[in-house]
Chain A
Amino acid sequence: MSDIAITLKVNGHDRTLQVPADETLLDTLRARLDLTGAKRGCNQGVCGACTVLVEGQPVRGCLSLSANCDGNAVTTIEGLAKGQALAPIQKAFAEAGAVQCGFCSSGMMLAATALLAENPKATVDDIRAGLAGNLCRCSGYRKIVDAVLSVVAGDGQ
Chain B
Amino acid sequence: MSAPQFDLPTSLEEAARLLAEDPEAKCLAGGATLVALMNAGLVEPTALVSLRKVEGLAGITRAGDGSVRIGAMTRHRVTAGSVELKAGQTVVKQAASVIANPPVRNMGTMGGSIAFADPGADYPPALVAAGAEIELASVNGSRRVKAGDFFTDWYQTALAPGELVAAIHLPAGHPGSIGYYDKLARVEGDYATASVAVVLTMAGRNCAGIAVAVGACGPKPVRLAEAERKLVGGTLDDAALAAAGALLAEAADPVDDVRASADYRRLVIPRLVRRAVRSAMAQVR
Question: Complex Cα distance A21/B28, Å?
Answer: 11
Question: Complex Cα distance A75/B35, Å?
Answer: 21
Tell me the minimal C-beta distance from A7 to chain B in angstroms: 14
Are B3 and A44 touching (Cβ within 8 A)?
A: no
Interface SS, B side: mixed
In the assembled complex, which residues on chain A have CB atoms less than 8 Å from the CB atom of B50?
A: 67-68
Are A65 and B48 touching (Cβ within 8 A)?
A: yes
**A43 interface contact, C-beta 8 A:** yes
The proximity string for B residues 93-118 relative to A, scoring 1 for CB distances below 8 Å and 0 otherwise, is 00000001111101100000000000
In the assembled complex, which residues on chain A have CB atoms less than 8 Å from the CB atom of B100?
A: 45, 133
Known: A20-B3, A132-B101. A64 touches B35 (CB 8 A): yes
Tell me the minimal C-beta distance from B79 to chain A in angstroms: 15
In the assembled complex, which residues on chain A have CB atoms less than 8 Å from the CB atom of B5?
A: 1, 21
| Residue from B3, B103, B189 within 8 A of A58 (CB atoms) | B103
| Residue from A1, A4, A60 within 8 A of B107 (CB atoms) | A60
Number of residues of chain B lying within 8 A (CB) of chain A: 26
Are B48 and A22 touching (Cβ within 8 A)?
A: yes
**B63 interface contact, C-beta 8 A:** no
Are A44 and B6 touching (Cβ within 8 A)?
A: no
Question: Complex Cα distance A67/B45, Å?
Answer: 15
| Residue from A24, A45, A62, A68 within 8 A of B52 (CB atoms) | A68
Name the CB-closest residue of A to B48: A21
Are A60 and B104 touching (Cβ within 8 A)?
A: yes
Are A44 and B39 touching (Cβ within 8 A)?
A: yes
In the assembled complex, which residues on chain A have CB atoms less than 8 Å from the CB atom of B36?
A: 44-45, 62-63
Question: Complex Cα distance A114/B100, Å?
Answer: 17
A→B interface (CB under 8 Å): 1, 3-4, 20-24, 43-45, 48, 51, 57-60, 62-65, 67-68, 111, 114-115, 129-130, 132-134
Return 20 A-B CB contacts under 8 Å, by A number. A1-B4, A3-B3, A21-B6, A45-B104, A48-B103, A51-B103, A59-B107, A60-B107, A63-B31, A63-B35, A63-B39, A65-B28, A67-B48, A68-B50, A111-B103, A129-B102, A133-B100, A133-B103, A133-B104, A133-B189
B→A interface (CB under 8 Å): 2-6, 28, 31-32, 35-36, 38-40, 48, 50, 52, 77, 100-104, 106-107, 188-189
Q: A1-B6, A60-B104, A64-B31 are in contact. List 4 more A-B contacts (CB 8 A).
A: A58-B102, A60-B32, A64-B107, A114-B102
